[in-house]
Chain A
Amino acid sequence: MDIKTTLFTLSDAVACGTVYDARDIASHILSKYTDCKKTDTLTVIGTLKGANSSRKIMLDAHIDQIAMIVTDVDQNGFITVSKCGGIDLRTLPARRVIIHGKQRVQGVFCSIPPHLGGGDTKFENIADFKIDTMLGDRARDIVSVGDYVTFYTEAKPLIGSRVAGGAFDDRAGVVCLLELAERLSKTELPFDVIFVLSDGEELGLRGSRTATFDIDPDEAIAIDVSFSDAPDVSGDDCGKMSEGAMIGVSPALDGGISRKLIDTAKKNNIPYQCEVMGSKTGTNCDVISVNKGGVKTGLVSIPLRNMHTAAEVIDLDDIVSVCDLIEKYILSGGADI
């Protein structure tokens, strides 16, 4: 699997609410390497059998992305939306979007011209930011209340192994999951490995909650993205791009797994950095770990800049580090349970 091509394909496709393109592409790839099924709640679960089939580790990456949902369509072709996930309103004026109506159409967030006080815009309520469907009075034929809207994005290479695009949160994690499925499908496994493409993370960690209930794993690792260094982000708040897998350390995570991940990275010379959090992680780990009677859970993240925008930046080498780390971790026997 070519990591860059797969990431670009998956991140330019969309998965949110009733739009399944990216999930279907990822699901197709996962089914090449694993025994793959979709659940009633649309989560995709792939299974690789290991020597000890009474034990299983769950690997999770969320397939959904931040989006918006249409709440009004006016007669002149302008629509109002509500947020599905954290969106920075300041980035919206003149932003290109895809409206997932009866047809897919491009739209543009209105930008108030300077002569009408565009410079005084208040960035408080997304309902104040109308989208021009560029459909005029035909809009109501194509766009309905409840349709999803996503940022128009186009993944592009930057210098070296860094790349920019939208929805790398968490398609970068999904790519790790798929790469791991390919690698682990070619080797003897100590126990079962269950791959989960979970839905609804951006709307409150929903898909992972129900998937974990169904799978009932002995341990789990979520693969997500986390904040990376940038001129306007304090070094205390983030990891560093290109410096490897971010291993989560948090009261909400299993300390043994965090330590074993760190030891595995050290032993195998895999680039890594610790991401220490004082409370919950804000990732699927928060619900996976409290499934049923409790699940030992770890978190490995890819450093990412400009999170939740159409200009997210990651380093493909960090994806490789995450894959190397989790592969070695599993092959060396996983957590001490």
Chain B
Amino acid sequence: MTELLRQLASLDGTAGDEKAVRDFIISKIDGHCRFEVDPLGNILAFKAGKNRSVKKLLVDAHTDEVGLIITNVTADGFLKFKTVGGIETAVMLSRAVRINGSINGVIGTKPVHLTHGDEGKSLPKPESLYIDIGAKSREEALSFVSLGDRAVICGEYAENGNFICSKALDDRIGCAILIKLLVEDSDYDFSASFTVQEEIGVRGAKTAAYTVDPQAAIMLEATTAADIAGVPQEKTVCSLGDGVAVSFMDGGTVYDRAFYNAALQSGIKCQPKRAVTGGNNSAAVHLSRGGVRSLALSVPCRYIHSPSCVCDRDDIDSAYKLARFMINGICSGDIE
């Protein structure tokens, strides 16, 4: 699954511009399930299993990632931009970026030698940042890029033993797991969605949940792990290597307690997410139509929303195993 993840994470798919990711996913699941693409660009799939399910279950992962959108070009040929999704300013300074999947640029930073007083100790205002693609004028820049083009901050996929480091692990990890679940034989029928625009307010999930109309849902996600030097244990949220994180509540959702308990008691390595922060597609899905019982399974991820997300491959494996366990449990009726 890590090779699949490497390929997925290397694709660029800023929110609203997920086509490259969508096309890749379709190439992998085609022939293994029925699917359609909805008006927003969600892939809505149905996996026929060996048995019929007692509940209509939706398993979801989002295809988009945080990125940048070009808003203007200066007379000197520098590109102005806004963030698409939450990106911290420090993570943008003097980084390589890639526009439209092909054009190289860098986000400029005033040299440290030229900063005065406290200027070098505080972050510049995000609106002062710009991308340099090497253009000498506005006209030259506009012959290579157009307003509204998307960019990502480059973050090559790398592995150190069990650790994986890349951009876009949020949520290509979920995509990789969901592809695997769809390609493999399933004991039970289930629906799946690869959704767009999660990072700008869980928008794809809203329409996907409406169309699929499920009774239960599982989000496959990545979530903040703060198990890093200097952070006290009670603030770590979750820890790499301790298994997939299961949420009881976050900034967008109160999760179904029966599903939560069943996951924790599955015998598969997992940990409760130990904070009420963040959010994911279940914020839209659990309030869809008359309400949907929801569960979030999130792979712990350090430095999330940066070009250097770090995850543990054992946690990805446990997320896959727990997702399979919950699909079978919910669809068979063993988990009520």
Contacts and interface: CB of A to CB of B under 8 A. Distances in A.
Interface of A: 74, 76, 78, 86-96, 105-106, 108, 110-116, 118-119, 121-124, 130, 132-136, 138, 154, 156-160, 162-164, 227, 230-233, 237, 242, 282, 305-311, 313
Given A135-B161, A231-B74, A159 B228 contact: no
Interface string B85-99: 010101101111000
13 contacts: A78-B229, A93-B91, A96-B165, A111-B308, A123-B121, A123-B123, A136-B161, A159-B134, A164-B106, A230-B132, A306-B108, A310-B94, A311-B94
B88 A119 contact: yes
B107 A311 contact: yes
B28 interface: no
Interface residues of B, number: 67
B96 A164 contact: yes
A232 B158 contact: no
B310 interface: yes
A88 B120 contact: yes
Contacts of A134: 160-161, 163, 165, 310
A232 B110 contact: yes
B134 A114 contact: no
A270 B16 CA distance: 48
A328 to B, nearest CB: 26
A156 B104 contact: yes
Interface stretch (B111-119, B253-261, B316-324): B111-119
Contacts of A154: 96, 154, 156
A74 B229 contact: yes
B302 interface: yes
A89 B158 CA distance: 24
Interface string B259-284: 00000000000000001011000000
Contacts of B154: 154
Nearest to B86: A114
Contacts, number: 201
B148 interface: no
A90 B90 contact: yes
Contact of B88 (A78, A86, A93): A93
Given A89-B121, A112-B228, 12 more contacts: A88-B120, A91-B93, A94-B91, A113-B226, A113-B237, A130-B230, A227-B113, A231-B130, A307-B111, A309-B109, A311-B108, A313-B108
Contacts of A162: 134
B123 A90 contact: yes
Interface of B: 74, 76, 78, 86, 88, 90-91, 93-96, 103-115, 120-124, 128, 130, 132-136, 140-141, 144, 154-156, 158, 160-163, 165, 224, 226, 228-231, 235, 237, 241, 275, 277-278, 302-304, 306-308, 310
Given A116-B226, A123-B122, A230-B108, A160 B114 contact: no
A230 to B, nearest CB: 5
A136 B163 contact: yes
Most buried by B among A87, A138, A159, A163: A159
Contacts of A92: 90
Contacts of B110: 230, 232-233
B90 A311 contact: no
Given A132-B310, A306-B111, A76 B229 contact: yes
Contacts of A94: 88, 90-91, 303, 306-308
A95 B88 CA distance: 12
Contacts of B96: 154, 156, 164, 310-311
B93 A96 contact: no
B230 A305 contact: no
A96 to B, nearest CB: 5
Most buried by B among A78, A112, A309: A309
Given A106-B160, A108-B308, A91 B90 contact: yes
Given A114-B86, A134-B160, A159-B133, A311 B112 contact: no
B96 to A, nearest CB: 6
A319 to B, nearest CB: 15
Given A108-B165, A118-B88, A135-B160, A309 B113 contact: no
Interchain residue pairs A-B with the least CB separation, the first 10: A158-B134, A162-B134, A94-B306, A309-B94, A78-B229, A311-B106, A159-B134, A134-B163, A134-B160, A130-B229
Contacts of A305: 108, 132
Contacts of B114: 227, 233, 237
Given A91-B109, A108-B308, A136-B163, A157 B104 contact: yes
B161 A96 contact: no
A329 B226 CA distance: 58
A123 B120 CA distance: 8
Most buried by A among B74, B165, B224, B237: B165
Nearest to A230: B108
A191 to B, nearest CB: 35
A306 B109 contact: yes
B308 A114 contact: no
A282 B114 CA distance: 13
A88 B156 contact: no
Contacts of B95: 310-311
A91 B95 CA distance: 8
A50 to B, nearest CB: 37
A300 B266 CA distance: 69
A232 B231 CA distance: 35
Contacts of A157: 104
Most buried by B among A93, A123, A136: A93
A313 B113 contact: no
Nearest to A304: B111
B229 A232 contact: no
Contacts of B163: 134-136
Most buried by A among B111, B128, B303: B111
B56 to A, nearest CB: 34
